[in-house]
Homo-oligomer: A and B are copies of this chain.
Amino acid sequence: MHEPYTKKEISAVIQRLHNSYKNTEEGSLAKYIPELGKANPNSFCISITTIDGETSFVGDDATMFTMQSISKPLIFGLALETHGLDHVRSRVDVEPTGEPFDSIIRLDNESKKPFNPLVNTGAIAMTNLIKGSGKTSRQEILEKTMENYVGRKIKVDEAVYESEKITGHRNRAIAHLMLHFGMVEPAIDEMLDLYFRQCSFNVNAKDLSVIGATLANNGVNPTTKTRAIKDQYIKNILALMFTCGLYTYAGEWAFDVGIPAKSGVSGGIMAVVPGRMGIGIYSPLVDKHGNSVRGVRVCGDLSRELNLHSFARGSKF
């Protein structure tokens, strides 16, 4: 099994796509928290890391941005490793939802469980499952998990983190409502703190492609050879990213692009082609769904040009 396209071929394709879309001005900076509105709208980077650990990129790899929702599948994986499938499934459903990412509405459903771990409610519930001897210990576990995927030390963006904390009224409402329904433990403030932290880790587009390649490589980071997540949970995480990874655009993405992926409102997209590569894209202009406009288009083109759709003939080999 080897990647059918050479590094040179991949570099040529992403160079061409970067040129095609670098002047696309559709979309707008996320206003979700004030700090995100300060991003440079022109920043744009495409990065691909194969499971051999080789990274090709084009564009602005210097700009750091916060992970936002891209941390969600990783924290879900941490919960699976810590508690096993059955316990985690008792706390969260895995159904797609037509509702927006920060919807509070659908909490009040029959199962009294969040719809899935990739919407805020579910992600907060997963954060509540981080196990440690104390607050500092839990922060370290969170950080270590991220670092295993990224392959280097990472830091919380303090300005974004503070902005999240100050303005996160909706997430605070979700936490209180989940407490009302008995979905989470009473230590709400720490849980939200951990949640805001995981959203605020600084990464660049190359980090995203390494994260993707780690999942594509059955959980082993191909640049450091460190295992970030047990093999057995990969298929579940990828299936979830396939059905629920792009907010209210998830169905259309699965249909057209067909690659398990997770986007964040800061403009990042991390995508996984199992057994082949991880893709990381950064461009902070997002559409009405909260997905990077250039990112969605680049991934659509990559899917067609490199035959990456999960259900296209010969996409895996």
Q: A239-282 CB contact bits vs B (8 Å, 1 = yes)?
A: 11011100010111011101010000000000000110000000
A22 to chain B, nearest CB (A): 26
| A98 partner, pick from B95, B169, B316, beta carbons under 8 A | B95
| A105 partner, pick from B105, B234, B238, B240, beta carbons under 8 A | B105
- The DSSP consensus for interface residues of chain A is helix
Residue of A169, A244, A311 with most chain B CB atoms under a 10 A cut-off: A311
A223 CB-CB contact with B under 8 Å: no
Given A177-B173, A258-B235, A96:B252 Cβ within 8 A: no
Residues in B whose Cβ lies below 8 Å from that of A275? 313-314
Residues in B whose Cβ lies below 8 Å from that of A236? 255-256
| A254 partner, pick from B104, B106, B239, B311, beta carbons under 8 A | B239
| A274 partner, pick from B96, B238, B313, beta carbons under 8 A | B313
Closest to A248 in B: B95
Given pairs A98-B115, A169-B176, A218-B313, 8 additional interface contacts (CB within 8 A): A98-B98, A105-B108, A170-B176, A173-B173, A173-B176, A235-B309, A242-B243, A244-B251
| A311 partner, pick from B93, B105, B172, B239, beta carbons under 8 A | B239
| CB within 8 Å of B: which A154-180 residues | 169-170, 172-177, 179-180
Residues in B whose Cβ lies below 8 Å from that of A5? none
Residues in B whose Cβ lies below 8 Å from that of A255? 94, 236, 239-240, 243
A116 to chain B, nearest CB (A): 7
Residues in B whose Cβ lies below 8 Å from that of A240? 251, 254-255
Residues in B whose Cβ lies below 8 Å from that of A252? 93-95
| A313 partner, pick from B179, B231, B313, B315, beta carbons under 8 A | B231
Given A234-B311, A310-B310, A251:B177 Cβ within 8 A: no
Bound-complex Cα distance A226 to B107 (A): 47
| CB within 8 Å of B: which A102-161 residues | 104-106, 108, 115-116
Bound-complex Cα distance A274 to B314 (A): 9
| CB within 8 Å of B: which A168-218 residues | 169-170, 172-177, 179-180, 218
